[in-house]
């Protein structure tokens, strides 16, 4: 299927099925640039309870820049949903350990000669830290990826609302129905029961899943060695600076750049937790994101060729705000 992004060249999308690490089939699309060979492959790891279509416009833009983009859904969600979620066994960690791992290794097998990048939205950014296969990437971008502990939500009204949902309403409802009927409640896609229960449990912990001894997230993040760009937005009620700081501080051996983007730069004047991937809200920031990936990936490739790497002492976070100049 040929598509045109405003101001760009035609790109082609192809529906594909990607096997997760355990063989579970994941519904996906590959987005190809008009001119081949491509410069690389960008994996777009989705957020929780978000349909794959949210990422289509961004994937088209990535392809228009000469890269292959891959969008997909986690098991139990959208195009990767079974006929019934009742009794469907899946935990949130399975999305990282099985789905993201599977997608990353599939891309390596399909495009062995191309550099591999990733853009992770919310939980998709968490997976970049959790997955062993992340060290196969040249560079990665985290979009609104934060430690999702309830204490980082600074807005009292929003914290009360989300606490009521995640701690009091959703867990018993998921146990009663057999899954979380998010679509009926207007809060996103339906979720497998155990995904919701694990997520709810993590939100109660002071440092989110870093306080879950069964996940060993601290050690997982510490093994990641690649350039990472962490994007936050000043009107995001969930991924607050505190939440982003908790998450990126666990990258002990990665070179992390933090950027906070002002929603006033957006055409709509709002970005929030989801708006970056919508054309009217976040497309103004897409060119810089792709530019950063290509630039950081080139530096990373040079370090690997020369044997240089990021040492333990180099894993410092640089804060690089992207905000309008008050004098403008």
Q: What is the pLDDT of residues 222-274, one digit of tens each?
A: 999 999 999 999 999 999 999 999 999 999 999 999 999 999 999 999 999 99
What are the tens digits of pLDDT across the range 174-230? 999 999 998 888 788 999 999 999 999 999 999 999 999 999 999 999 999 999 999
For residue 160, the model assigns a pLDDT of: 96
Contacting residues for 116 by C-beta, under 8 A, at least 6 apart: 40, 41, 43, 104, 107, 108, 136, 137, 138
- Decide: 147 and 247 in contact? Cβ < 8 Å: yes
pLDDT at 304: 63
Domain ranges of the chain: 12-150+214-301
What confidence tens digit (pLDDT) does each residue in 94-148 have?
999 999 999 999 999 999 999 999 999 999 999 999 999 999 999 999 999 999 9
pLDDT at 43: 98
Which of 71, 75, 25 is closest to 52 using CA atoms? Answer: 71
pLDDT tens for residues 7-64? 445 689 999 999 999 999 999 999 999 988 999 999 999 999 999 999 999 999 999 9
Residue 320 confidence class, pLDDT cut points 50, 70, 90: very low
- Choosing among 3.30.1450.10, 3.40.50.1820, 3.30.565.10, 3.40.50.1370, the CATH entry for 12-150+214-301 is 3.40.50.1820
pLDDT band at 313 (very low <50, low <70, confident <90, very high): very low
Confidence check: pLDDT of 317 > 80: no
Cis ω before 229 (30° cut-off from 0): no
The C-alpha atoms of residue 292 and residue 309 are separated, in whole angstroms, by: 19
Residues whose CB falls within 8 Å of the CB of residue 328, separated by 6 or more in sequence, listed in order: none
Q: How confident is the model at residue 302 (pLDDT cuts 50, 70, 90)?
A: low
pLDDT per position as a tens digit, 274-298: 999 999 999 999 999 999 999 999 8
The residues, any chain, with a CB within 8 Å of residue 317's CB and separated by 6 or more, are 248, 249, 251, 256, 257, 258
What's the pLDDT score for residue 184? 84
Banded pLDDT at 74 (limits 50, 70, 90): very high
Cα-based torsion angle of the residue sequence 62, 82, 78, 209 in order, rounded to the nearest 10 degrees: -80
Cβ burial of 36 (10 Å; 0-12, 13-18, 19+) is: exposed
């Amino acid at each position: 299927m040929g598509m045109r992004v405003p101001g760009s060249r035609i790109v082609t999308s192809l529906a594909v099925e990607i096997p997760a690490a355990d063989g579970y089939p994941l519904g996906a699309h590959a987005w190809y640039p008009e001119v081949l060979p491509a410069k690389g492959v960008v994996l777009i790891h989705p957020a929780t309870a978000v349909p794959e279509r949210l990422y289509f416009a961004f994937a088209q833009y990535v392809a228009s820049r000469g890269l292959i983009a891959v969008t997909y859904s986690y098991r139990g969600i959208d195009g990767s949903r079974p006929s019934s979620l009742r009794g469907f066994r899946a935990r949130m960690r399975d999305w990282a350990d099985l789905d993201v791992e599977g997608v990353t290794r599939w891309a390596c097998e399909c495009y062995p000669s191309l550099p591999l990048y990733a853009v992770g939205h919310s939980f998709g950014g968490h997976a970049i830290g959790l997955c062993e296969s992340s060290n196969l990437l040249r560079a990665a971008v985290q979009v609104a990826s934060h430690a999702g502990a309830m204490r980082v939500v600074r807005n009292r009204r929003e914290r009360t609302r989300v606490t009521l949902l995640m701690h009091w309403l959703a867990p018993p409802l998921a146990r009663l129905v057999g899954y979380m009927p998010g679509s009926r409640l207007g809060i996103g896609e339906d979720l497998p029961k155990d995904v919701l229960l694990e997520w709810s449990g993590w939100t109660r912990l002071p440092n989110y899943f870093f306080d879950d001894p069964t996940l060993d997230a601290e050690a997982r993040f510490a093994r990641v060695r690649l350039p990472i760009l962490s994007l936050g937005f000043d009107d995001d009620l969930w991924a607050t600076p505190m939440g982003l700081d908790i998450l990126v501080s666990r990258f002990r051996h990665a070179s992390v750049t933090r950027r906070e983007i002002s929603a006033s730069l957006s055409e709509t004047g709002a970005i929030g937790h989801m708006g970056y991937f919508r054309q009217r809200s976040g497309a103004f920031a897409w060119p810089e994101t792709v530019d950063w990936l290509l630039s950081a990936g080139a530096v990373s490739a040079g370090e690997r060729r020369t044997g240089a790497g990021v040492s333990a002492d180099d894993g410092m976070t640089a804060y690089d705000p992207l905000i309008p100049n008050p004098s403008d």
